[in-house]
Amino acid sequence: MNSSGSHLSYVLITPARNEEAFIEKTIKSVIQQTVLPTRWAIVDDGSTDSTPDIVSGYLLEHPWIELVRRPQRSDRHFAGKVHSFNAGFEKVKDLPWEIVGNLDADISFENDHFEFLLRKFADNPALGVAGTVFREDGYSSERDSFEGHKHVAGQCQLFRRSCWEEIGGYVPHRAGGIDWMAVTTARMMGWETESFREKWFFHYRQLGTAERSVVSSLFSYGEKDYYLGGHPVWEVFRVAFRVTKPPIVIGGVALGLGFCWAFLRRVPRPVSRELMAFHRTEQLAKLRGIMRSVVRFKRVDNFNLARN
């Protein structure tokens, strides 16, 4: 239930598969929130570890948490996550709520995390999707990401109900990009999306490394950049940026090879031509902004050197 009538009501859905190492950190973060969700559906997606047992231990004391069980499956892919999310959504869709959140089972955050985001929605009716920056060991999406503040990380995404309904929710795709497609589609339809810098959450597992190495995950991200319709010029700059981050050089190389490999194979793209064109226009506009900032910085730097 909501602990304050002055805030928008919200529901949370968490697909969880073999998350015994981290899910209790997520649960404790949610139950300590200053504004509680109306319902939190945690979907056990066929875990073979103690994930459902950990969740069950909190149900009696917190009746607004619901455990949804799904059968075991042999493979792990992003379309499965959407199917799990949809199973949780079936449990909350008929409840009175204004915001729906997708929450991963391997993050933690401060006690007023959702109160902060709900306030952002209340203050801006045009805000369709919101979240915050995140940190991992040795990584900050605020400092190290090439995405920008309009992208909302998939580990914690909140959607306004009308926005969610307009974009049609998450679109399942085995190779991923479901969170990106949802956020970018929202912008294409005229909604504002924002990853706020005032708050952050901690992500305990490095992005894309649930069952693979960091280099392998970067190769897959390069493939994803291609099949989500990324502009080749943008990818060149992204690779150049990534070679400066750990693992130095090899990470950027893996990213670029993934993009090229997907291009050579002509991997089918799950995005519409309209969404791809919108995405590329955004990327090129962002690059122009970056280049203008670099030029201004150089001019100021040269002016200061001349004065000295």
Query: What pLDDT, on the 0 to 100 scale, is given for residue 293?
Result: 80
Tens of pLDDT, residue by residue over 10-68, are 999 999 999 999 999 999 999 999 999 999 999 999 999 999 999 999 999 999 999 99
Q: Give all domains of the chain, ordered by start, each with its CATH number.
A: 10-203 (3.90.550.10), 212-308 (no CATH)
Better-scored residue on pLDDT, 191 or 241: 191
Q: 200 by DSSP, 3-state: which?
A: strand
Query: What pLDDT, on the 0 to 100 scale, is given for residue 29?
Result: 98
Q: How confident is the model at residue 290 (pLDDT cuts 50, 70, 90)?
A: confident
Better-scored residue on pLDDT, 305 or 92: 92
Query: What pLDDT, on the 0 to 100 scale, is given for residue 300?
Result: 55
pTM of the model: 0.87
Pairwise CA distance, residues 197 & 154, whole Å: 16
Least confident of 66-80, 81-95, 116-130, 215-229: 66-80
Query: What pLDDT, on the 0 to 100 scale, is given for residue 253?
Result: 96
Residues 96, 1 contacting (CB under 8 angstroms): no
Residues 198, 113 contacting (CB under 8 angstroms): no
Query: What pLDDT, on the 0 to 100 scale, is given for residue 2?
Result: 47
DSSP code for 269: P
Residues 197, 133 contacting (CB under 8 angstroms): yes
Query: What pLDDT, on the 0 to 100 scale, is given for residue 151?
Result: 94
Better-scored residue on pLDDT, 297 or 248: 248
Q: What is the mean pLDDT of residues 158-173?
A: 95
Pairwise CA distance, residues 101 & 163, whole Å: 12
Residues 181, 271 contacting (CB under 8 angstroms): yes
Query: What pLDDT, on the 0 to 100 scale, is given for residue 3?
Result: 44
User: How many CA atoms lie less than 13 Å away from 26 in the CB half-sphere?
Assistant: 27
Query: What pLDDT, on the 0 to 100 scale, is given for residue 180?
Result: 94
Q: How confident is the model at residue 245 (pLDDT cuts 50, 70, 90)?
A: confident
Tens of pLDDT, residue by residue over 100-159, are 999 999 999 999 999 999 999 999 999 999 999 999 998 899 988 877 899 999 999 999
User: How many CA atoms lie less than 13 Å away from 211 in the CB half-sphere?
Assistant: 8
Q: How confident is the model at residue 175 (pLDDT cuts 50, 70, 90)?
A: low
Query: What pLDDT, on the 0 to 100 scale, is given for residue 1?
Result: 45
Q: How confident is the model at residue 5 (pLDDT cuts 50, 70, 90)?
A: very low
Non-local (6+) Cβ contacts of 102 within 8 A are: 12, 13, 14, 85, 154, 156, 157, 159, 170, 179
Residue 210 predicted with pLDDT over 60: no
